[in-house]
Chains A and B, each alone.
Chain A
Amino acid sequence: MAGMPGTGGTRMLAWSFVGPALLLLIAFNLFPLAWNIVLSFTNADLSGGTWEWVGGRNYATIFSDKSFAAKYGAALRTTALFTVLAVAIELALGFALALALRRDFRGKTPLLAVLLLPMMLSPAVMGLFWNLILEGTYGPLNQILGLAGLSQPAWRTEFKLLCLLLVDVWMWTPFMMLIALAGLNAIPAQLYEAAEIDRTPAWRVFARITLPLCAPLLGLAVLLRATDALKQFDLVMAITGPNDQATQTVSALLYQTTFANQKVGLGAAYAIVVLVGVIAVATLFTRYLDWMAARQGREG
């Protein structure tokens, strides 16, 4: 049969199918990476003029220069805080919504369509429009709060990280909901029937059947969301700009260093430090997928 290893012709054919895509991926990932490493040992700036080797000075700046090391630490903390809060809220809310949407009812399909829309939209574009919604005086949110007799905080100046979280939760809760629904639908009905015969209390059914059987898919959802949230850039740019202390994520600091301050060499060094973290997360993710596949293989 064709497709068996060994014969040179088949191997050539196989590589001609997968080769072009792999070559492009390597060229556009490993090549910039290598160039990034080179740049990180230089004092190159954005103008593209002359540059010099500076050895490990950029890395020394990241880890020890007081002002930059503080900024770098703050950006890491902001990113971590944003990621943890966003993912936790989206998971809890998404899972709750999935539980509520579990049974079929009339109008479920159009309702799902409305709920799912935000995650398909552009964060940069919708972020801009959210600025109007969250505006302090004429923003619709505060006007509604005012009509309800509640206080009207200056969201965009005093609660910047909260604004970021709010928009992110609006956009990505449906993502968690979608995956949680898939998890719920995959639970065999017999388990619930058996629990009913045994008159198991509802909370026990939830704790012993629903939650554990949903957990692997929820884990996948959390990993997918977390890798995205760690890259958060678009909403920061739209809502506060890249250089606001309250919301400067790692990506925003990278942008600020490389493009606003034009320090390409320093930015490159910082990017390398970030990439070490990215590789760690990616490894964790692929291990998880592997584990899930093995688990499915055992069960099915």
Chain B
Amino acid sequence: MSKRQAAASGAAEYLTIAFTYFTVGVTVSVTLVDRGVDTGLTVGAAFMVHSATSVLAYVAVSDAGGAMIAGLLSGWLVASRFGLLAATLGARLHVGVPERVLAGLNAFDPNVAMAVREDKPGRVRSVFWRTTAMMIGGWIVGVFLGLWVGNVLGDTSRFGLDVVFPAALLGIIGGALRRRDALAAAFSAAAITLILFPALPAGLPILLSVAGAAVGVAYSQRQQVPS
């Protein structure tokens, strides 16, 4: 690849990330506005929590009638991946404490993945912040546009917006699902929830689906044992 082609594909990657986070921002706002959440709280929740998956997980559990604590636990559990991503980034980022705090608070899937691909410490830092800027830029515009879209649409299930919600979540984990152990974890977790859902209090089946992660680990352990 020539230098020019490399630059072009790099720019395309940044734009794709910005557009993805724009769409995620729209989804989060529309989802909250659709549930009667006012403008201030929709924007506040989006920017304070700083994790679309956490907000959507909380909303999904409270929609099902789950207690607040069950919603919070689900929101925290799905964000645990950001802790792991921050750990991965932390090992490669050689900067002072204030910048480490800021970088940690902004650890998302694409910016960490793109940063740790780089070899030189200086490049890790610049690629991380550049990707972060693109993501957050797209996210901010998306959240505000979503406010407007949510208010204009009215009856959202007519537009299939109740499917936007699960489809967005599926899209978020789509990359991870290419691994066999992740697929095993995902299918077991889904099965656990669907079996327990009619019997247990709302929210509990989601929390118990964590057991699916153990199935995934068991699966990968079995693959490693030579037969």
Are A and B associated in one complex? Answer: no
